[in-house]
Structure 1
């Protein structure tokens, strides 16, 4: 339609969704971006409806969630959708990052796209943690207490910083109010960053499985790739529907159905499953301050990847050694997730320490050394 190319706003939509040229050989692994956008929209919409009935007060928070579940028309569906889409959000973002790592999507000229993506990921983790506290069950209260207490490890200002966040001397009404306000506002910041992510991606276009420029072999976004996106979107809705209607608590923690009790500590305090790898890294280091630094470092280290990957080849498609170490990294990440769910006893502590060491070694030593080795071998082969 001509109006899509002439109207000042529709022309922008047309350039992103209709006529945007995409590499012909991108696979279904490139569909996670549209799935993540769908998850963000679902979370914002369901969150707005939940906020209409939720009360951020230590005496009423748990009961207000039960009120949503039992008394509000279809409130149970909205609440379960919100809780389960949060899990799918992280499943998709981990797969999205893994695809980026495997195919070298972080390398120039897409460094800005990668950087904004990492910032989105870190903000997602913060938003998810704040949301986990709001139902104010046992795991909410004690998870908030443990995680916010980590800031007390900061020299000099630590204890004051914790009190500032709590709004008192323990997790209390002020804490719940602050967490609710931030949890409501941060998704809109996430949406703004997601738009920035798309703008940066639009500048140079998507990477492709071969890792080479493919300007001569591109198709329009619509209808070729929009319909490809719809395949995974419908499959996602199918799986989400099955979980929401039949297994709504599959990905949650049963302790959060117990009202928060500051006088009774749960047997095991663990965050949601998608934060377990970073929790395992935190617990693997005996020193509290170093553990906190390692936990935040495990997220921020993603930002250095474009600078430590020195290989001339983009992606692991044609790099057998790096392909092997990539899968070692994936297995190591799953091991960290498992360790994070276990009690901090032997041998789990020792396994966690080995897995944590490998996590950082992969970024700081394996990636640059393999890149330099491959470059040297290529130089020898061409002589």
Structure 2
């Protein structure tokens, strides 16, 4: 009998020890008198059942139905941190699904359905600032804040220079840039010389010629070409294929922005045209709210499409983020190390095409020897190519 009691006592101690070593589910703080802090066994069972149903629905992409189950589980057992955290994540997921549906409705022109989906997203996540902004825009609340579209008020498809109808004589020795300016001025035309043009000493003698003859002869001597900017202004640049492609046959178009007369706002538009479209001749007027663009016809057309839709929609960025919890202890046990740094190499398609039949590995070795990349980068590039 005594031996039996010792054995039972020993088993009880072992059982308590094993129970102490078993990891428990994290619990939320629960003070005395708080509702639900002492759930019954029946409530715990119902909470577990609701939680399991929620997981199945979540795996089936039925996020709103899953949210209801997770909410029920958290209500029945508010002491469980697992139920509470899963419920909060489900709220975010349900809100994201509604926002994506609203975005699809907006793209399809279904504004009423989009507004309903944005409101549903806010019911799941009232503090979602993006949903609040999108709903405001869907209701038309942001139209007053959007810049007014540009209007085309003057158009000149191809600019033609109109010099004075006279003939002149020239006997010039000196800098080539000064020659071009002097020849144009003789016919009442202003010559703007490209800053990239290198001046040189030239001699120029010609008699009884009109504007076209004098400018063409001066262009031949200085190895330049000219193109009209206005009726009384021309632009002179070095005679190269790139310059011809950029400056030949310049057209002119004037855009008017109603209510957009602030210097900063107009300069923003000018910078967009110069950077995005590479239009060099863009002149803003803050007094009138106008912008004059001189460029090849295809650039003028692209600028028209850009500016007439300027400010129609605000820039939008949507992030789809997945939060993953990684156990470092388990990783060490498995001998796995996840990288936390990476390097991206941007290799343009044109550059790859220019390689032709060259040995890619030889090119990579040259980069390594020149210090452009290291051995780790060699392996990364090789795997990409």
**Shorter-chain-normalised TM-score: which range?**
under 0.3
- Identify the structure with the greater helix proportion: 1
Q: Which has the larger radius of gyration?
A: 2
Relative contact order: is structure 1 or structure 2 higher (C-alpha 8 Å, sep ≥ 6)?
1
